[in-house]
Each structure stands twice: as C-alpha cells, then as structure tokens.
Amino acid sequence: MSAACGVDAAANPFRASRILEFRYRFVDSGWDALLSKLEALGMRGAIVGPEGSGKTTLLEDLGERLRRSGRRVIFGGVEAGAVTLLDGAERLTRRQWRRFLREAREAAGLVVTAHRPGYLPTLIETRTTPGILDAAVLAASGRRCEGFAVTPEELWTRHGGNIRTALRELYDICAGRVSPSSRGAQRRGIPDSFAT
Amino acid sequence: MSEISVLLQDRKLAYRPGETVRGTAYWTLGGQPESVEVRLFWRTEGKGSTDTEIAASRTFQNPARTDRRDFELVLPAGPYSYAGKLIAILWSVEVIAEPGSEAEHQDIVVSPSGEPVRPAPLPETPK
Amino acid sequence: MGCFFLALTVQGAWRTIRTYSWDRTTCRMRDGFVARAEGSSGNYEFRPRYTYQAGGATREGIVYKPGYSGSSQAGEAEALLSRYAKDTDVPCYVSGDDPDKAALARPSLWTLLIVLFPLVFVAVGVGGLSFAWSPRRMAPDPEKRALSSKAGSPLQAAGCLAAFFGVFLVAGLGMSLFFTLPALKVVKARSWREVPCTVIESRVRTHSDSDGSTYSVDILYEYEAGGRMRRSNRYEFLGGSSGGSAAKESIVAANPPGTRRSCFVNPENPDDAVMDRGLSKTYWIVLVPLLFAAAGFGGIIYAFRIRKGGPRAPGDAASFAAKPAGAAAIPSGPVKLPTPHPVAKVFGMLFLALFWNGIVSVFFWKMLSEWKSGGKPFGLTCFLVPFVLVGLALIFGVFYSLLAAFNPRPSLTLSSKAVPLGGSATLSWTFTGAVSRMTTLTVLLEGAEEAKYRRGTRTYTDREIFAKIPIFESAGAVAQAGSADVRIPADTMHSFSGGSNRIVWTLKLSGQIPKWPDVTESVEIEVTPS
C-alpha cells in the first residue's frame, strides 16, 4: 500500500482542523480519577507536560466536562464563581503569575497548563506513547502508522513524543510531499522569524 | 432537538463565480430564535491554520420556531474552490440560528469548470 | 516600575506648573555676570541681581529660573547677560505665597512631556497584563458551532509588529538628530563672519560616571561683536563628550591661553560663535543610528504589507467582489515591478549581523575570559557554538550580499499590474551594470501554496510549489534589455491571501555569473480570476 493517500488538503486525514478535533487520550487513569484528584486539590491544579503531549487538548476537554457538570468556565480570565482555565502559564513572568494568583483567589477553581511543575499542585503529567500516537493515527486515517510505511516507535522517537509534529509529518507523507524513508520528513516549515 | 437544513435550487452544487446561489432554508428549533441568518462563505483546510471569510449573508426577518425561507446570495469573482496539497479552499452555504449558534451547511463548488481547481503534478526533476 | 518613575516625574512637573501661578511684575536689573559653576559639571551660569516690589517692600532677587543649572556652552550664559542688561527693566515672576521667591523666567512647559515617558511603560504594562488575562468563554456546544465562525487565524498583529519596529525608527531618528542638527549648523555657518578671537582658558574636560570617563574640548575664547567683548567656549558644532583623550589633548595643546586665532560669529546673533565650523569625520557616526531608523522603517512597511494579506470583510474594496459586466476588473497600463535595492539587502544583512554578533559577542568574550583565567566553561562553550556559527554565517552573508551588490541589476516592468487566468502580459527588463559577466539568463514563473501553522509559541510557514512555467531562457550572450510573454494557464489557480494561507505567483529571474554570486530577483505578481 502506498504511503501517500492520494488526497488533496481538504481530505488529508491529518489536516489542521482535523487534528484540532482530537480529544485527549489517557495513558493510565481516566476522567473519573482526574476529576476526583481535582476536587481533592481544592479545584486547583496544573497540567504538566512537554510540548505536543496534549496539555491544551486536555485543558479544553476538562473545561467541556466541567461545563457539562453545571460549572461556569472561563479561559484566561477571572470571574467570581467560575473555574479559570489558563493555557501556557510559563508565558507569564513571575510578577504576572503572582498577580494572576492573587486575582484568581475569587475564582471557583484554577487549572493551568505548564511545561514544568511548580505553578500549582500537579494534577496530571501528560505524556504520550507510541501506542497513543498509533491510536491517533488510526482514528484520523483509518490506518495505523505502518500503513504509512513508518513504525509508531520510529515516528514517536523522531518527534520526541510530540504528537502534533508527528501528525504533521504524516500530513506530508499522506500528501505525497515526502517519502516516509527520507529523514528530512520533518520540520519542513521555515520559522517566520527567519523567513526572507 | 433542533433541525436545520439547506436545500439549493435544482440541487445545484456547482457554480460559476458571480452566479447567484438560490435555495431554501428549513428549520425547527428548540425555542424561539432571536435571529436566523444564511451565509455564503469560504474556508481553508490543510496544513495551515484555518482562514474563513463570509462573502455574502442575509438575515431572515421575524423567524419563527419552525419556518422555511427562500434566499438568494451572489457569489463574488473568487476565490475559486481549490484542492492543493497544503491548502484547500472550500465554499459553503450555511444557515445559523441564534441563540446557541446552531447551524447546518451545504458545501458547494465555485469555479469556472464546476470542479475545484487542482494543480497538475509538476514534472519529475531529472536526477 | 513605570508607576514609580511616573510619580517622580509628576512631582517635578508639579513644581514647574506651580511657578505659572506666580504673579508677573517688573524687575530692575542691578547687576549680572557669568560664572563657572563649582563641582564636576563646570557649567557656565548666568547669575543675575535684580530688585522688585512685593508685599509693600522692595526686595532683591538672584534667581534666574527655578531649577536652572547653567549650560556647558558659555555662549548661552553670555546671551542671557545681553538679554538681562544692567539698569534695564525686565518682566519677572513673584510667588504669591512667598514674596521673597522670585525669578526672571519660568521653566518651560515642554519639560512636562517627560511625564509621558514613564506613562509609555505603564501603558505597555497594563496593556500586556490585560492582553494576557483577557477572558475567553467556552463556546456553547463545539459540535454545533457554525463553520463560518470557526476562524482559526486571527489577523496578523501588524500593530504590535509595527510598534516593535517603530521603537527602532524613533530611537534611530532621535539618535541621528544628535548628529544631523549640528551638521545643519555646519552648513549654515558657512555664511558666518570670521573675526579674531583670543583664547582665555584651554583644557580637556573629563566627564566621569559609573561607566567610566569621557572627554571633551573646553576652550574659552573672547571676541568682539555687536559693540562689546563676548565669550564663548564652543569649539565645534558637534558637542558632547566621547572616549579617548588624545585627539582632544592635541587640540587643546594647539590652542593654549593667549593664542590669537579666528573664530566664526553668527551675524544674526553675536553670542553664537564657533571656533571650528568644519565637518569632522565623527559626523559619519550618524550612519549607525540611521541604520537603525532604516531597519525600523523597513520593518513597519513589512508589518503592514503582511496585514494586507489578512481576511477581508464583504464589501471591502480589496475583496473579490463581483463586478458588473463591462467594468474593467484589471487595472491596465505597465507597472514597474518593485525589486529590493541591493544596498538595502547589504544594510539588512549588516544590521542583522551586527545585532546578532553584538549580542553573542558579549557571551563570547565572557567565555574567552573564563578560559583565559583557567576556568573550563564547557557548558557555556557548547551552548555558544551554534550561535557563533550563525554569527559567522551572517558575516559571510554580509560579504556575499556586498559582492552581489556589484552585480548587474535588472529593472522589471510588467505590461499589466494584474494578469488574469488564461491571460498574458509582457515582462520587460533592462539591466544596469556589466551584463556581459552573465553567461545565462532565465526567467521562471512559479506558483506556490504557503500555509502557516503554529508550533508552541512560534509560527512556521510551509511552501509547496505547484507550477513552474518557463518564461525565458537566453541563448548565447545576455542582452542588456529584453522582454518575454508571461502566459498564465486558464486552468490553474489565481493569487489568494487568507491570512494563514496564500497562493502566490512569483517571477524569478536568475542570471549566472561564474565564480561570483548569481543575479537573482524575485517579485510577486497578481494573478486574478478570469
């Protein structure tokens, strides 16, 4: 079977809008354990993990769950009685973070994402595995990684566990832009700060 | 449970730029709507972040909870529907009801040929 | 921090404002002289003595202006001596709360603008905090959300980018004023009168602060103008102080006290004089701040160019609105295609290389110092290796672009600003420079998809070329001028710009020069729907 899907951008299973639809998959534990832990932490915790491990996705899913359970949820801001969700706490300076914590005292809960622990008690450490990557590929495309002439372990290792960039490589393989065997099959984009 | 649908005249799904899209919007909503609007818009799909732009729209006056309304929207000269490797441009007609932003859409093709523009494969570079 | 400085400047500003409530009256000048202030400033101060009536009594005042601390230019103090001549009546100001407080002049209200400076920092801080904390609600039910409102790409932050580059522009222009204003005076001084003058004092003045010492030439001389003897200490128009005392010492040594020589006097203002009205090589330093200003200006233009590619509202003149039949959809007439000036590329590379290597060199020297002093900073060394390599590549880039600046340069003209699908336009080119050095010339039309996506906090752009249409290839020697038809296939895609996604058509001109950087020019053209 050819690694290329023979489809255009709209039908590419790894297109941007499709990846945004993925929901978080737990390696171990699940929603019940997570929500119980959040309650035990007094509704304050941090989702910690490396880039591309699903922190933002998990935060959004958590927000959806909280909303469906009847709570008010707000992203990035503080409102009395609402649970505040903040993505990327490491982007705040120390002073901004301290100020944000003071403001958030009146929030009904506070959950942040961060690359490293230390902001709030760790609620969960997000991590990915080749298995999770393979499952995501199957859910997106109906084929496993082998269907794209690459093993999940190889793809996962090449991208340091970053599911997002791994899926972008599969986008390129599916689009026939690169062959799976070429080691240049990643990070084809030019950072805009260096674009001429 | 809300139901919204869009039916285009003659079930036509391919249009030339500048043509008028005619159709009927049907809906049965869970409650009295504040507004119901029909929109003609394009969006991108592909590797990059999604762009979208509303090319034409029309708000139905005094929409009922269950209703049907005819509409006419004029297509602009572009962009054409496009199916590339990194970018696809897709056109749709969408009916959206507020409150709740409940919506339903029907994809159409906008191009001179009636098919999305597809770039021809580049010739192989000799090694 | 902004609020702290704001408090300090507001305090000073309040003192200035209060003097504007003082009563205006008439003072009689009794005496006045110019003296050198004690201490490190060594400024020339105008010291008046005057009398006035207040509170039913005759009082004496000695204050020229609240906060006045003199000037490094003797001529300015001397000018005040002329203005407030002995035995003349002049307007002055007396405090209503304390009649013993009086002054001949009040501080300028322009100084209140200094309050705005810390306000900028306060505004940036407030803006940044509110941007970081702007709330975003959860959408009601994501599955039912309208597709048309799922816009994932915000408008380019052209404003923020422009503001960033605006700092370079303002700072560069501000710094260049230090040099361009004196340079303008040099030009004006060509019409000044040459008069004999006598050196009274001559020394190299030292200005010390926590960063070290700088030096300036301080020669006080006397001359006759407007019917009386006057003094000035302006040696040249470019004032201030700088590092290195040797050159200044030699100027001072050549002008000891008692030396008779010429100086130049402004015919419109006899207190305005200068000893050397020439343009010294120090003035060339103005190129450095002008470089920053140019980079800032270029950055602002770039910021607004990329904003033009953002989403358009219906009815926007730039959108693909359907035009009524018969209306001319394509502007006609030839248009010169913009190509960046090679000098701009050299300056751009130079600025980038200076900026990058300037920062890296600080850490590089620190690392070297540690190695020299016996330390073993392996960590810092390994960390610096990629940065130093990039810096070296940038330096190479400067030389490469400098060589390329001497290449023949094409001037490109397209017969129509926009070309429709299925249509054609004529591309004409004319080379300036030694075109005989080129062995081949090719022109290619390239169509490409560009898609932007985010990875972490950075944005990346992917590119996919979908069309390569040969336009011209030279056979034999390359001519000084030429032209070719640019035909756009009818069944391909027109230009498109959606914010994060673009379809661009680019004319690429390439001229090969053996053992030299090639001539390369790329310019985007607009391909419109048919």
Estimate the crossing angle of helix A130-141 against helix A163-174, to 10 degrees: 40
pLDDT in tens, C81-131: 889 988 999 999 999 888 899 999 998 877 666 656 555 555 555 555 554
Of the residues B43, B45, B118, the best mutation for testing chain A's interface (the one with the most A CB atoms within 10 Å of its CB) is: B45
pLDDT at C228: 84
Poorest-pLDDT segment among A58-62, C34-38, C257-261: C34-38
User: What is the third-level CATH fold of B3-110?
Assistant: Immunoglobulin-like (2.60.40)
pLDDT per residue rounded down to tens, chain A (196 residues): 466 788 899 999 999 998 888 888 888 889 999 999 999 999 999 999 998 888 999 999 999 999 999 999 999 888 889 999 999 898 888 899 999 999 899 899 999 999 999 999 999 999 899 999 999 999 999 999 999 989 999 999 999 999 999 999 999 999 988 877 664 444 456 666 544 3
Alpha carbon distance A175, C464 (integer Å): 11
- Taking residues C38-50, what's their average pLDDT? 81
Strands (E), A6-62: 44-48
Q: ω into residue C91 within 30 of 0, thus cis?
A: no
Q: Looking at CA atoms only, how far is residue A9 from chain B in angstroms? A: 4
- Interface residue A11 vs chain C (CB under 8 A): no
Q: Looking at CA atoms only, how far is residue A123 from chain B in angstroms? A: 30
- Interface residue A177 vs chain C (CB under 8 A): yes
Q: C220 or C147: whose pLDDT is higher?
A: C220
Poorest-pLDDT segment among A72-81, C43-52, C304-313, C333-342: C304-313
pLDDT at A123: 95
Confidence category of residue C401, pLDDT binned at 50, 70, 90: confident
- Give the chains touching A; criterion: ≥3 Cβ pairs < 8 Å: B, C
pLDDT at C428: 92
Confidence category of residue C270, pLDDT binned at 50, 70, 90: confident
Mean per-residue pLDDT of chain C: 79
Q: Is B41 exposed, middle or buried (0-12, 13-18, 19+ CB in 10 A)?
A: buried
Task: State the DSSP code for C238.
Answer: S
Task: State the DSSP code for C150.
Answer: -
- Taking residues C414-435, what's their average pLDDT? 90
Alpha carbon distance C130, C135 (integer Å): 9
End-to-end CA distance of chain A: 39
pLDDT higher than threshold 80 for residue C240: no
Work out the percent of chain C whose per-residue pLDDT is above 70. Answer: 74
What is the H or E stretch that residue C373 is in?
none
Nearest to A183 by CA among A144, A157, A146: A157
Estimate the crossing angle of helix C342-372 against helix C378-404, to 10 degrees: 160
| C129 contacts A164? CB cut-off 8 A | no
pLDDT at B32: 93
- ipTM reported for the complex, 2 dp: 0.93
pLDDT higher than threshold 50 for residue B100: yes
Poorest-pLDDT segment among A50-64, C220-234, C275-289, C424-438: C275-289
Q: Which tokens belong to A64? A: 């959806």
Alpha carbon distance A43, A84 (integer Å): 10
Mean per-residue pLDDT of chain B: 93
pLDDT at C140: 41
pLDDT at C312: 39
Q: Looking at CA atoms only, how far is residue C196 from chain A in angstroms? A: 59
Pairing of strands B102-110, C23-36: unpaired
pLDDT in tens, A117-130: 999 999 999 989 99
| A10 contacts B85? CB cut-off 8 A | no
Poorest-pLDDT segment among B26-40, C180-194, C350-364: C180-194
Place of tokens 């050299």: C346
- Touching C: A residues 104-163, CB under 8 Å: none
- The answer to whether C10 and C114 are in contact (CB under 8 A) is no
Residues of A in Cβ contact (< 8 Å) with B111? none
Alpha carbon distance B123, C17 (integer Å): 77
Alpha carbon distance C47, A36 (integer Å): 80
- Interface residue B16 vs chain C (CB under 8 A): no
Q: C320 or C289: whose pLDDT is higher?
A: C289
| B52 contacts C150? CB cut-off 8 A | yes
The CA-CA-CA angle for residues A23, A24, A30, to 5°, reads 125
pLDDT at A5: 83
The CA-CA-CA angle for residues C274, C280, C283, to 5°, reads 105
Of the residues A12, A18, A74, A94, the best mutation for testing chain C's interface (the one with the most C CB atoms within 10 Å of its CB) is: A74
- The answer to whether C450 and B86 are in contact (CB under 8 A) is yes
| B50 contacts A8? CB cut-off 8 A | no
Estimate the crossing angle of helix A31-40 against helix A55-68, to 10 degrees: 80
